[in-house]
Chain A
Amino acid sequence: GAVVSQHPSWVICKSGTSVKIECRSLDFQATTMFWYRQFPKQSLMLMATSNEGSKATYEQGVEKDKFLINHASLTLSTLTVTSAHPEDSSFYICSAHGGRGGTDTQYFGPGTRLTVL
C-alpha cells in the first residue's frame, strides 16, 4: 500500500516552545491530508483537514492559531503546535487521501508522540 511518513516520531519539549511535525506521502500525491490527535485510551479525533494550496479546515474546538497547518506541496503537510503546554501532550497522527487504494482510502503515518514538560 501507499506510504506516509511522519517526522519526528517523538519529541519532548519545554512548555512554551513550538513544535513542527511533518507528514509526507512518499509514493503518491495527496491533495488532502488529515491531522488527528489521540489521547491515552481515547479514540482518534480529527483536528483539521489540510488542503494543498489552500487554508486548512479546522474541526470545532480546535484553535487554528495554536495548531498551524501548512500544505505547501502535494506530498508535504506540516502541523506546528505553537506555545505548547502539557495538555497538548498527545499522539499526533496524519493521514493522506489517495494512492492506489482509491478515493475512499486513507493511509496513516506512524504518528508523532509529543510530550510537553
Chain B
Amino acid sequence: RKEVEQDPGPFNVPEGATVAFNCTYSNSASQSFFWYRQDCRKEPKLLMSVYSSGNEDGRFTAQLNRASQYISLLIRDSKLSDSATYLCVVNISFQKLVFGTGTRLLVSP
C-alpha cells in the first residue's frame, strides 16, 4: 500500500465550479500535512498546511480527519489559473515528507 494515495484524475471542471480532492495516508504516526501545487515542469509550491480543526485560505479549504487518515482540499469558484497538479504531502518523521502522486486539475473556460 502506498504511504500517500491520491486519485490521479484528471478532474475537468468549468470555471466557477467547486471541486474537491481527497487523499489517504497509511502511517498513523504522521505528524503534519500539507497540500502543494505543482505546475508542469516546475517545482512544488506550498499551497497550505492542513490542521485537524480545518483551515481556509480564500477559495481553498483543507480538512484533516486523523481517525480516518484522510485529508481533503476543496476549491471554490475555480479559476483557469487553478489548473495544476495538487500534491498531498505528509510529514511522517523529522522533516521527512512523503508525496502523493498528485491529482491533476484542468479548469476550462
Contacts and interface: CB of A to CB of B under 8 A. Distances in A.
A72 interface: no
A42 interface: yes
A33 to B, nearest CB: 10
A43 B43 contact: no
A43 B99 contact: yes
Contact of A44 (B32, B44, B49, B96): B44
A61 to B, nearest CB: 14
A17 B87 CA distance: 33
Interface in A91-115: 91, 93, 95, 97, 104-106, 108-111, 113
A32 interface: yes
Contacts of A91: 41
Given A43-B100, A95-B97, A104-B49, 14 more contacts: A1-B46, A41-B101, A42-B101, A43-B4, A43-B101, A43-B102, A44-B44, A44-B99, A49-B95, A105-B46, A106-B95, A111-B42, A111-B43, A113-B41
Main secondary structure of the interface of B (DSSP, over half): strand
Interface residues of A, number: 22
A49 B94 CA distance: 11
Contact of B32 (A95, A104, A109): A104
B103 to A, nearest CB: 11
A91 B49 CA distance: 25
A34 interface: yes
B102 to A, nearest CB: 6
Contact of B95 (A43, A93, A97, A108): A97
